[in-house]
Structure 1
């Protein structure tokens, strides 16, 4: 059964769109220098408006673990996504504090051994480009639940699910029109995943 995370939400009103389509997880980017980076005030407003049943994950790149723990302990985020060169020690520190962790790796590292809850395969940070899904090891060989990202859209999401059989799909640019979150695209993507689930 595949679930869906809609990431890269950067406007407060994006929370209202998320509430309407009800993904399994949402994400905001704390890593500096990205187009969709949010500041603390915006993050607080998004979490406040977002349905309490939708977990919000913060995306970090080589940032202070103590900040992550603070954001988690105050309820601002419900998990972290590590998109840099974070060590397995940092993953372990977060897990020891019961913080759910998504560890982002290159597609060739799908079988990495990690204490993270999920391994996310992505070509490069926010590239919006797909990679050759044939290199992903088959499901029986995986030790950690797999999240698939990179260039997923309404046009290729069904094929990605069929071919890779990921536990999760993670979409950022694929639910936007002209760089802004789009309700129709968000709804279509969630529907594709939910229909996939209903068929099983």
Structure 2
């Protein structure tokens, strides 16, 4: 049964949408300098308003362990989007935070992370040839350019544990409730 993660949420309005559509995971970018980045205060407010049943995933890029652990209690999962190694994965897990390790299709490696996320680029919104997806003992999250038009095909072809959608849940750069509802509906119908 495939689950769905809606990522790149950066407004309290997005949280209201998430509470309505009930994805399996919600993601926020905690690495500075990205269009959808959120600061600590906004992250706390988003966690406060988000349905407690929806785990909040914090996305980090080459940040140190102390900075990531400072978000414990706000986030329930850590997504590592840089060149973090297995030592970092183990340290986060030892601290009680499950880890999603991001990798590109041409660099699929074994990881002790709780999930591996295969994406063509760092939130580029580009999909890749799904035939490149390798079998792995680690549950796979499929990301990259997924939207209402290709989501059902992607799930049918790859059978991922989770699909991760960011820009594909937006209209004109902002989260769109109707699009988010449709994405969740597609996943639920196929599961």
Q: Same fold (TM over 0.5)?
A: yes
Deviations 1:123-159 (A, max 9, x none): 111110000001112xxx3210000000000000000
Distance 2:62 2:122 in 1: 13
Whether the aligned pair in 1 keeps the contact of 2:146 and 2:165 (CA below 8 Å) is: yes
**Pick from 126, 129, 132: which aligns with 1:129?**
126
Give TM-score, length-normalised by structure 1: 0.93
* Structure 2 partner of 1:114: 111
Deviations 1:85-131 (A, max 9, x none): 00111011111112110000011333x22110000000111110000
Whether the aligned pair in 2 keeps the contact of 1:95 and 1:115 (CA below 8 Å) is: no
Whether the aligned pair in 2 keeps the contact of 1:128 and 1:173 (CA below 8 Å) is: yes
Distance 1:83 1:173 in 2: 16
Give TM-score, length-normalised by structure 2: 0.98
Unpaired stretches in structure 2, ≥5 consecutive residues:
none
Q: How much has 1:78 moved relative to structure 2? A: 0.4
Query: Tell me, what secondary structure is at the counterpart of 1:71?
Result: coil
Q: How much has 1:10 moved relative to structure 2? A: 0.2
When the two chains are superposed, the root-mean-square deviation of aligned CA atoms in Å is: 0.8
**Pick from 157, 160, 163: which aligns with 1:166?**
160
Distance 2:32 2:40 in 1: 12
Q: How much has 1:70 moved relative to structure 2? A: 2.2
Query: Tell me, what secondary structure is at the counterpart of 1:76?
Result: coil
